[in-house]
Amino acid sequence: MKDKRKGILQLLIIAAVIGLCTFTTCIGFTKHHKGSAQNIKLGLDLAGGVSITYEAVGETPSNKDMEDTRNMMQKRAEVYSTESSVVIGEGGRISIDIPGVSNAEKVLQSLGKEGSLDFVAQDDMSFEDEQKTIPKYEKTICTGKDVKSAEGTIQQDEMVKNKEYVVSLKFKPNGTKKFADATAEAYPENKIIYIVYDGKILSDPRVQAEITNGEAVISGGFKTFDEAEELASMIRIGALPIELKEVQSQVVGAQLGLDAIQSSLLAGAIGFALVVIFMIVFYRLPGVASSIALVFYLVVMLVALNALNITLTLPGVAGIILNIGMAVDANVIIFTRIKEELAKGKTVQSSIKLGFDKALSAIVDGNVTTLIAAFVLYVKGSGTVKGFATTLAIGIILSMFTSLVITKIILHAMYSLGVDDAKYFGVARERKTIDFVGNKKKFFGISGLLVVACVICLVVNASGRCGGNILNYGLDFSGGTTFDITFNKDQKIDGQLKKDVEKVFMSESKSNDVVISEVAGSNALSVKTVELSEDQRNNITKELVNTYKVEEKNIENQNISASVSDEMRSDAIVAVIIASICMLIYIWFRFKDFVFAGSAILAILHDLVFVLLIYGLTKISVGNTFIACMLTIAGYTINATIVIFDRIRENNGSKSGNDETLAKVVNESITQTLSRSINTSLTTFFMVIMLAILGVESVRDFAIPLLAGIIIGAYSSVCITGTLWYTVKKLRRARKRHA
């Protein structure tokens, strides 16, 4: 029985949620626009700024020393931006991100300097300002190197018997003597000993006793233990024995980041419009419902980024755009099922219910396997790859919700309002079964040729085409320094300019290993050379500014040590292996058939080999996003494969027929899901092709291999996986018969 009021209410609720989320993302709340899109935290590649990673020299420091070092770096970074992030990594590493800064040279110099902690006698102290906040001195009692330990603690005041918070300070032998002499001189007149760190006075305690044993207590004025521990921490920081070296750094211009996000958003808007038009034309009323659900997905995604305080990176934006294409997949599976039920003569209401019920397992299994890829990306990736993995995972979860819940509510609401004619939904036409199994030798032959082509291409590259490497390893995988230099419009980029810029880098690096290339679509050059020190990078920047009048904000540079690049290469291999094993186990568990799982993994490897061929032929730089690209393709491929396997499992049921029956099941299952395979590939293709056309170079380098992955994924899921499953099943049956 139809309830029009219920249908109207459901549509109004969804419209209200979309409206509220849209208001939040566009305007936000309060005068500070809290919750709006403009308050989403942007990564360095979008906001511009400085990123640097330090590594402790020698043995890995203790957790306490690392935490103190993090606190020190956090305070230094916050001088430039309150949005700064300082994170402790593995193996004695600390990563610092400072968005929005313009004077990158000054920031890098400040972060890299050694902290100074000085104890200064009152008679040796003067000030440069009337407020007495800027200390000036030439003589010190002792320094941080003389401090053994500093701890916040609680002691009992002997006079009033009250507990108070204090800082317990211990000196090394040399410091003990120096401090004893200073307190002996200061005690009679109750003078001050100033504690100064990085030019700021941390504390100014008065000497109340001569201290000869090297153990002092700073008391008075601490209202809480945290206040005492904060001072103790700052003293420990100044006394840190840790020596840090730079292993990775990146400088990004804010204008370049702005251009990147604008071009990516334009690509997303055009791709979104194409997807909506395609869905409405092909699926009619359900297409309208899915388009509304997609809008719901998009605005809720933006609110989620704000609410979860996620830092949005350029690959993260690409992840959101990619998810729009992939979000349609679940709707396509559902709508295909609804059409099939209508073709069987079921009512519209019954077809909607059965369509969602029968599509559920394929949707859940496909998205879980893609989530596995996103999880591995987050664990093994770093920086921008983590941003991509985060948005990909959130997008997968939201797309499942919008397709299984929101689209369902909209369809039921429309039905309640009287839109109940099958013509609005479309009825599946009877399709002639295609003999995929009969053509398996052709398919396997094509795949074999692709594998051989890949091997030949990589061998040729290794012989010298890519500098002796099988692929064109980017900075992330090879180590070194790159500069991206955007010249003013009146500066013509020609052969002479390239030679002059090359001389600048060769002179400073003392190396002939300098590779210069033009950046497509912009008046810019990309220069790659050996690993340069901070001073060398600063000198090159000054030369470019002074000689070629390049604005410093238009000079990006990135530096990665060989040790970090080696780790990234190994992480890429390990990530693919871990993801494949996890997917194998999950599919084996869900389908109760190892052949299903094995066939799916072989299809993934087949697709990744083809993408390697594309990387080899196009010489696209293989860097950190390479991991994201490979695992995204793995998740995408297995998603499509699971839909077909789910239909094979359903059609096969408990049948145990002969090989001919099994071949018929496989052919029918692939044919029945063919429109889904094609349509999902097309909608995802629309989104990614826009990124490849309109995105900045780093996005294009991600989008082009992804396009190849979408194409080969559609081919392998339709032509390889089902026929491969049949072939293995047939061989196992033959073996049993001859056993």
For residues 49 and 557, give the distance between their C-alpha atoms in angstroms, rounded to a whole number. 11
Q: List the structure tokens of 701.
A: 């380098």
* DSSP annotation string for 317-377: HHHHHHHHHHHHHHHHHHHHHHHHHHHTT--HHHHHHHHHHHHHHHHHHHHHHHHHHHHHH
| CATH for 4-21+252-424, options being 2.170.190.11, 3.40.50.300, 2.50.20.10, 1.20.1640.10 | 1.20.1640.10
Please check the confidence at residue 534 and state whether its pLDDT lies above 60.
Answer: yes
* pLDDT value, residue 660: 82
Q: Quote the tokens at residue 338.
A: 């609804």
End-to-end Cα spacing for the chain: 60
* pLDDT > 70? residue 30: no
Percent share of the chain, pLDDT over 90: 9
Q: Measuring CA to CA, which residue among 714, 724, 635 is closest to residue 399?
A: 635
| DSSP assignment letter at 250 | E
CATH (residue range 437-458+564-738): 1.20.1640.10
pLDDT category at 6 given cuts 50, 70, 90 is: confident
- For the cut 60, the answer to whether the pLDDT of residue 122 exceeds it is yes
pTM above 0.85, yes or no: no
In this predicted model, what pLDDT tens digit does every residue of 226-255 receive, in sequence order? 888 888 877 877 766 677 777 777 777 655
CB-based burial, 575-606: b 16+ in 10 Å, e otherwise: bbebbbeebbebbbebbebebbbbbbbbbbeb
Helix ranges (DSSP H) in 558-673: 562-591, 594-618, 624-652, 659-672
Output the six-digit token pair for 111.
């972060």
Q: What is the pLDDT of residue 180?
A: 93
Round the average pLDDT of the chain to a whole number and report it: 81
Distance CA 95, CA 89 (A): 7
Which residues, including other chains, have CB under 8 Å from residue 423's CB and lie 6 or more apart?
284
Whether 8 shows a pLDDT value over 70: the answer reads yes
Instruction: Please state which of the ranges 111-120, 162-171, 484-493, 576-585 shows the lowest mean pLDDT.
Output: 111-120
Domain boundaries in the chain? Answer: 4-21+252-424, 117-238, 437-458+564-738, 481-560
Confidence grade of residue 186 (pLDDT, cut at 50, 70, 90)? very high
Looking from the CA of 165 toward its CB, the CA atoms found within 13 Å total 13
Give per-residue pLDDT as tens, 450-507.
Answer: 999 999 988 888 886 555 678 887 766 777 788 888 888 888 888 888 888 888 888 8
Q: What is the pLDDT of residue 184?
A: 92
599 phi and psi, to 5 degrees?
-65, -40
DSSP state, 131? T
Looking at CATH, the fold of the domain delimited by 117-238 is given as Gyrase A; domain 2 (3.30.1360)
**Does the structure show a pLDDT above 60 at 708?**
yes
What percent of the chain shows pLDDT beyond 70? 89
CATH class of 481-560: alpha beta
Give 148's DSSP letter. Answer: E
Chain segment 576-622, per-residue pLDDT in tens:
788 878 888 888 887 788 888 888 888 888 998 999 999 888 888 78
User: At 649, which amino acid appears?
Assistant: R
What tokens does 614 get?
């594309």
pLDDT of residue 34: 59
Whether 437-458+564-738 and 4-21+252-424 are alike in CATH topology: the answer is yes
Judge whether residue 656 has pLDDT over 70: no
Distance CA 607, CA 100 (A): 40
Beta bridge partners of 251: 50, 557
Helix, strand counts (H, E) of the chain:
23, 17
Name the more confident of 718 and 653.
Answer: 718
Least confident of 75-89, 279-293, 433-447, 676-690: 75-89
Say what the pLDDT of residue 213 is.
92
The closest alpha carbon to 196, from 144, 131, 240, 244, belongs to 144
Q: What is the pLDDT of residues 274-306, one digit of tens each?
A: 888 988 888 888 888 888 888 888 888 888 888
Give Cα 342 distance to the centre of its chain: 43
Report the candidate in 323, 353, 326, 367 with the shortest Cα–Cα distance to residue 425: 353
d(CA 218, CA 335): 73
- Other CB atoms within 10 Å distance of the CB of residue 76: 20
Within 8 A by CB and 6+ apart from 290, the residues are 279, 283, 328, 331, 335, 403, 407
Candidates 397, 332, 402; CA nearest to 364 is 397
Strands 135-136 and 480-486: unpaired
